[in-house]
Structure 1
Amino acid sequence: MADAPVFIDPVCGSGTLVLEAAMMATDRAPGLSRDYWGFEGCADFEPEQFDDLLTDADERFEKGLENIPVMVGADIDGKAVELAQENAKRLGLANKLTFVLADCINLEETLAHAGIDTRQSGFVAMNPPYGVRLLSDELESFYKKLSTGLRCLSDAWNMIVITPDSTFDSSIGYDAKETQGVYNGAIEATLRKYQMGNTFLVEAPLVTLEGKEQMVEVSSDHAMQFAGRLRKMAKARRKWARKNDIHAYRIYDADLPDYAVAVDVFEEDETEDIFLLVTEYQAPKEIDTQKAARRFNDACAVASALLEIPSDHLFTRVRRQDKGGSQYRRKEHHSHRIVVREAGYPFELDLSGYLDTGLFLDHRITRALVGKLACDTSFLNLFAYTGTASVYAASGGAQTTTTVDMSQTYLDWAKRNMERVGFTGSNHSFVRADVLSWVERAVTENKTYDLVFLDPPTFSNSKTMGERTWDIQRDHASLIEKVARLLNPGATIIFSGNLRSFKLDNERIESLGLSIENITAQTIPEDFSRNPKIHFCYVLKAQ
């Protein structure tokens, strides 16, 4: 900053960085405005010497004010800007600093109003919002705005950023020249230094699914290979989905190794609006974090442009460990709920926040099987999630349904799904319980069922399970043994899961008097055909 005539923080909040920089630039001593110091009460305190120090500090501050550079703080939060102005006033800097209400995307306009030429040298410093301390639902949108705003700066500008986000460079389109590990309070972060000027992002031509020509901003022309593959699959899957009256489906599933993402399409029932969900698969450890982030950003940009999806209809799931944060970028969330029809049934989905949307797309055929087998049965849905299998069973003619899950959030969701189709009343019960414990109690209470849908997680160490843990490979046979004691003669268990390496304990299952039919291949939908191990599925039938 020493040689820069301009200092700006485009996301200044209450003005901390601008105020600290101003104090350094003006040689202002910390605490200069204080009326009293605790040490003044000490027996050996020498007031005359201290007065001399204060006088010297005042003179240095007054001299520094004569040479202070242009210093600007901007923020989109009006209350934060007011607080920054009040803080500057308390420090005697109100007439030397400028704090304005402005969005970072309009940085060039903000600088112009302050009389700053973006071609002259300058210095940017910021501690931007991120998904650890703040809600991160709109983090990607913020980064896009910030990146756009920074484009106005020439290579005569430098920038310092404090962030825990290991993918910040990829998100804004600039490579850090230097980095240093720091702590921002208790949060582990990095101090990143940039020279502004040319971004590494480039504009590439793209033809949309509807044949329109447009430009899309990506980090590499290599992204056009992804665009080509996505266009091919999107056309084929859209035709298939329309033919089969499917409104939630996958159009891309890590088809190219360099773009390890899944792209799902959701058609909202009432508005017919199209939404996209782009989910990142965990990259191998040998893949650089920044490279993986750039590819993911490119995939999102290409998918949005290719299908002409507005930014507020594009949702992401990013599984990546950031410093000081969780594995999932969306640690906090604002729900975005839509209703999507499957086989005519309206299901509530949440595209933002939870790890899953509320509808496992790969189980589409399995749910239909539940409906076909449900007529005149008593149906039990274990590890029920949002109760979509219960909807199929009730619609298929089940006399009763029992929906069991340990999450009240999911049970409430399941109730809404059932009510939306018209299934209410005492014939349809919802039980909040640890499934393992509930099954044991149900056995002692002599409960019995004709059809059971059993779709447990691969692993669980939930607090509600006490000291127990759940491992599907280790524990599935014991669970099925207990569930088998709930079966009426001739009853059926549909048993599924997602462990790719799963092996059923055939010998033990058969010893329970259950026949086994592996129907995995028959339950893999067309849009998951590239991933035949997305789930397994068995029909276990009581003799």
Structure 2
Amino acid sequence: MEFYASCPAAFEQALARELRALGIRRPRPLKGRVSFEGSVRDAYRVCLWSHLASRVLLVLGRFACATPSDLYQGTYDLPWHEIIRPGASIAVSAHGTNPELRNSRFSMQKAKDGIVDRMVDETGARPAVDTHAPDARIVLTIRGDRASMSLDLSGEPLFKRLSRTVLARAPQGVDILRPDYAALVLAETGFPELCQSARDAGTEPPVLVDLACADGGILLEAAAWLADRAPGAARTRWGFQGWAGHDRAIWRELLAEAREREQAADRRPGRIVATDPDERAVEASKRVVAAGRIACAVDIIDPKADALRRALGRNVPAGVIVADTSVMAPDVVPSALRLATDVAALAPCASMPIAWLSRPHGGLRIPGRAPSSTSTLLLGSDELQLVCFASASAEAADTPYPGAGAGELHAGKGSGSNRTADQKPSRTARATVDVGDGKPIPLLVPESEQFARRLIKVARQRRKWARREGITCYRVYDADLPDYSAAIDLYEGTSVEADRGQRDRGLAGGGNRLGEEHGHGGCNKLDAAQGHAAEPATERWIVVAEYAAPKTVDPELARDRMLDILAIAPRVLGVPPEHVHAKTRQRSRGGSQYGKQGASVHHGGNPQADATSPQGDVLIREGGLSFTVNFNDYLDTGIFLDHRITRGLVREHARQARTFLNLFAYTGTATCYAADAGVEETVTVDLSNTYLDWAERNMALNGFTGSAHHFVRDDVLAWVEQQVRGHNRWDLIFCDPPTFSNSSRMGERTWDVQRDHVELLKGVVGLLEQGGVAIFSCNLRSFKPDVEALRAAGIGLEDITERTIPEDFQRNKRIHHCYLVRRL
């Protein structure tokens, strides 16, 4: 059975840890929830014991949901008479929209109609609808053209667990910190694990030191953990009671087990020491603690370090330090910060981890100790900050993190190219993961184990697919897990230096070496018929491109996750450390695609001389052709893997073409495909000397040389305008412009693909022979062609984007847009 536990943003990793501790085997953190598979018993245990989850839901089904009729039919098709207990009242809530279902209330009504109609048809009885206190609450979630239906097993949110007595006795105007937020503060210090370890070992429970006890919310939650009290034990009404699959016997067993655990914990009640610089907060905490059924000893002391030293005594067990200054008056906060600094220096407290909840920019700073994590939390409309410090002894004892060795990352040239991941000597591993080779990998972030498992799975799937399709360069991972937001591309090939050495040895033996025969017209081709040396050994490289993390993510945490990715990926993918390349993508601030200098035209010369590549280039194969890629010097490698199918489309159309034009040609890979199909003449246009030379090397590498292949350096827009006024026309044109450019070589003109595509395509169509076709592609995710303006200009556009997205880019279907362009 499939379930998920919902939670506030930034709770996902802590909730996943909690679920693992509850026996859930493979919890999967997602945005605002953690999904898992398990039995009814597993779901009940989460409902009963989770301190961090908001709700627990059973996934009932998924279906296509592009229109209202899809929604009704998909809902009706579920066997509601087998899901809802006879006589149970229901309520439906809806979340998410799409172009046809833009109103959540309408979607909710449509889903309710489907449920009621199905139950009437099956049972003859219409279920009662109760929007305030239903027996069964059904949740509809719409994402794009898909929808899911789930049953809320919790009923009321799980964080609604403060007793009426506590709420009644709290001073007027005091807002007790929501229990799940209090639980997160404790979870980030490792307090739950300390409590469980003490119970398992039969030793003294950990001590909680609360330096800003505020309204007592953290005290109540800590007391529940010390008492081993199930957070849901006192609740009498549950969402699963309206479920036809409810197993009362299992639920009774779990309740009995919870009572036994709490009784056993009473023998070692634990201890809390609390204070607050604000006297009103101290009085509020005393009243809340008195009403809260707290079994452990709670000492409320003066807000002084000496008082805390006396209260703790000499033999201090393991413990943690927490504070909540989020509701503290601004003029009192400095006193709390000074107290924390003094306490952290005390011998009994120096080894304790610390979690400090505050308003933004009110976080704790401790001399000599760097925060281990910083999270931004949203509680209603309030933004909070949670800063955590690992225990000082743990920092000293932890395994040094090897990170990415000096050979693993290569410094790039210029903005936005390869990024060196600076490694601080003080970085320490917090966990390890074994990826199957028997050599544990140290991790800076324990949750990186989830990334490792995901990468192992998708790498296995991609490898099988790539072998079946004969593909050697492909995307393995594409931000599958939101917290590990990176793309990993795998390249198989040979270094150009190794290939050149083999070729030289082959030539010394009396023959020329080239790859496969292709059959062309109008070009010179090296003869591969004579003797040649053996192929150089194939090697592997990976490029890890990090996506920028949201501002709500702590930069240090994002950096640690990236370092874990760089440690895990080469081990899973079988890549040597020196073949790992890290890149950071940045928004373009101009481009080298354009310039205002005159055109420079040259033709192919000596094929062996033209094939010479810069040192460090790698030779790869795709579609029976060879290309060089470079991982060191540029943001992109020299070939766009998402255009693999598009290049094949160029070859397909080129078989019926005599002439081919490649605009914004980059490294000329599309030109190679067209030449391979047998076109008689190619023209490759780009403003960059670097890329134009690269394109010529790629052509020569495949044997396409001579006067039939032209390479033009010019501002493409100006060049197209000039050619339209002339007589040159082409049967097939490939046009893949940048999204934006304000290159100085364009003069005062700028380029924006959304704004300027109509004028560009007018020129492109003007260069087509009668019956010719152009393939137009762009990478602007939000791109929308102006179909009306194009039609008015006599231009027909056929959207073929879906056909051109490869299997390894299906997670990112807006990676590019692609169209066939013809004259109407």
TM-score (norm 1): 0.61
Counterpart CA distance in 2 for 1:303 and 1:532 is 24
Deviation per residue, 1:332-374 (Å, 9 max, x gap): xx96310110011001000112010000000000000000101
Identify the match of residue 353 of structure 1 among 615, 622, 633: 633
- 8 Å contact from structure 1 (residues 249, 527) kept in 2: yes
For structure 2, the 5+ residue unaligned runs are 1-367, 369-402, 410-418, 495-535, 588-613
Counterpart CA distance in 1 for 2:439 and 2:743 is 48
2:714 maps to 433
Counterpart CA distance in 2 for 1:367 and 1:201 is 44
Deviation per residue, 1:46-74 (Å, 9 max, x gap): xxxxxxxxxxxxxxxxxxxxxxxxxxxxx
**Could you tell me which amino acid in structure 2 is paired with residue 241 of structure 1?**
A
Post-superposition offset of 1:470: 0.5
1:133 maps to none
| 1:372–1:397 distance in 2 versus 1, CA, 3 Å | same
2:537 maps to 271
**Could you tell me which amino acid in structure 1 is paired with residue 439 of structure 2?**
Q
| 1:201–1:362 distance in 2 versus 1, CA, 3 Å | same
Post-superposition offset of 1:205: 2.7
Post-superposition offset of 1:169: 10
**Could you tell me which amino acid in structure 2 is paired with residue 229 of structure 1?**
R
1:487 maps to 768
| 1:502–1:335 distance in 2 versus 1, CA, 3 Å | farther
2:653 maps to 373
1:500 maps to 781
| 1:417–1:169 distance in 2 versus 1, CA, 3 Å | closer
1:159 maps to none
- 8 Å contact from structure 1 (residues 335, 350) kept in 2: no
Counterpart CA distance in 1 for 2:552 and 2:793 is 46
Post-superposition offset of 1:168: 10
1:206 matched to 2:434: yes
1:305 maps to 571
Larger Rg: 2
Question: Which aligned pairs between 1:309-320 and structure 2 lie closer than 5 A?
Answer: 309-319=575-585
- 8 Å contact from structure 2 (residues 661, 734) kept in 1: yes
- 8 Å contact from structure 1 (residues 346, 421) kept in 2: yes
Post-superposition offset of 1:443: 1.3
1:518 matched to 2:770: no
Post-superposition offset of 1:509: 1.5
**Could you tell me which amino acid in structure 2 is paired with residue 313 of structure 1?**
H
Identify the match of residue 424 of structure 2 among 172, 175, 184: 172
| 1:168–1:344 distance in 2 versus 1, CA, 3 Å | closer
Counterpart CA distance in 2 for 1:426 and 1:372 is 24
Deviation per residue, 1:263-285 (Å, 9 max, x gap): 11100144211111111011112
2:699 maps to 418
| 1:391–1:143 distance in 2 versus 1, CA, 3 Å | closer
Post-superposition offset of 1:296: 0.7
| 1:320–1:295 distance in 2 versus 1, CA, 3 Å | farther
**Could you tell me which amino acid in structure 2 is paired with residue 339 of structure 1?**
L
Identify the match of residue 231 of structure 1 among 456, 469, 473: 456
SS of residue in 2 equivalent to 1:353: coil
Counterpart CA distance in 2 for 1:219 and 1:140 is 12
| 1:169–1:359 distance in 2 versus 1, CA, 3 Å | closer
- 8 Å contact from structure 2 (residues 404, 567) kept in 1: no
- 8 Å contact from structure 1 (residues 144, 172) kept in 2: no
Counterpart CA distance in 2 for 1:538 and 1:320 is 27
- 8 Å contact from structure 2 (residues 795, 823) kept in 1: yes
Question: Which aligned pairs between 1:445-464 and structure 2 lie closer than 5 A?
Answer: 445-464=726-745
2:62 maps to none
Counterpart CA distance in 1 for 2:814 and 2:693 is 31
- 8 Å contact from structure 2 (residues 408, 577) kept in 1: no
**Could you tell me which amino acid in structure 2 is paired with residue 477 of structure 1?**
V
2:602 maps to none
- 8 Å contact from structure 1 (residues 378, 400) kept in 2: yes
- 8 Å contact from structure 2 (residues 687, 714) kept in 1: yes
**Could you tell me which amino acid in structure 2 is paired with residue 370 of structure 1?**
V
Aligned pair count reads 346
1:401 maps to 682
1:337 matched to 2:617: yes
- 8 Å contact from structure 2 (residues 404, 563) kept in 1: no
SS of residue in 2 equivalent to 1:295: helix
Counterpart CA distance in 2 for 1:245 and 1:435 is 35
TM-score (norm 2): 0.41
1:157 maps to none
Post-superposition offset of 1:319: 4.0
- 8 Å contact from structure 2 (residues 474, 808) kept in 1: yes
1:6 maps to none
| 1:203–1:288 distance in 2 versus 1, CA, 3 Å | closer
Post-superposition offset of 1:516: 1.7
| 1:394–1:292 distance in 2 versus 1, CA, 3 Å | same
Identify the match of residue 444 of structure 2 among 210, 219, 223: 219
Deviation per residue, 1:71-124 (Å, 9 max, x gap): xxxxxxxxxxxxxxxxxxxxxxxxxxxxxxxxxxxxxxxxxxxxxxxxxxxx9x
Post-superposition offset of 1:542: 2.2
| 1:218–1:319 distance in 2 versus 1, CA, 3 Å | farther
Counterpart CA distance in 1 for 2:701 and 2:422 is 43
2:51 maps to none
- 8 Å contact from structure 1 (residues 169, 290) kept in 2: no
Deviation per residue, 1:513-532 (Å, 9 max, x gap): 23221000000000001111
Deviation per residue, 1:375-398 (Å, 9 max, x gap): 232111000000000000010111
Post-superposition offset of 1:308: 3.0
Counterpart CA distance in 2 for 1:300 and 1:385 is 29
Counterpart CA distance in 2 for 1:337 and 1:218 is 32
SS of residue in 2 equivalent to 1:510: helix
Counterpart CA distance in 2 for 1:503 and 1:144 is 40
Post-superposition offset of 1:453: 0.4
- 8 Å contact from structure 1 (residues 335, 352) kept in 2: no
Counterpart CA distance in 2 for 1:335 and 1:292 is 33
| 1:413–1:237 distance in 2 versus 1, CA, 3 Å | same
Post-superposition offset of 1:262: 0.4
1:541 maps to 822
Extract structure 1 runs of 4+ deviating beyond 2 A: 139-145, 167-174, 318-321, 511-515
| 1:466–1:309 distance in 2 versus 1, CA, 3 Å | same
**Could you tell me which amino acid in structure 2 is paired with residue 360 of structure 1?**
F
**Could you tell me which amino acid in structure 1 is paired with residue 750 of structure 2?**
T
Identify the match of residue 293 of structure 1 among 550, 553, 559: 559
- 8 Å contact from structure 1 (residues 337, 349) kept in 2: yes
Deviation per residue, 1:376-422 (Å, 9 max, x gap): 32111000000000000010111111000000100010001001111
Post-superposition offset of 1:203: 4.7
CA RMSD of the aligned region, Å?
A: 2.3
Counterpart CA distance in 2 for 1:320 and 1:484 is 33
**Could you tell me which amino acid in structure 2 is paired with residue 246 of structure 1?**
I
- 8 Å contact from structure 1 (residues 524, 532) kept in 2: yes
1:280 maps to 546
Counterpart CA distance in 2 for 1:239 and 1:529 is 16
**Could you tell me which amino acid in structure 1 is paired with residue 692 of structure 2?**
L
Post-superposition offset of 1:144: 8.5
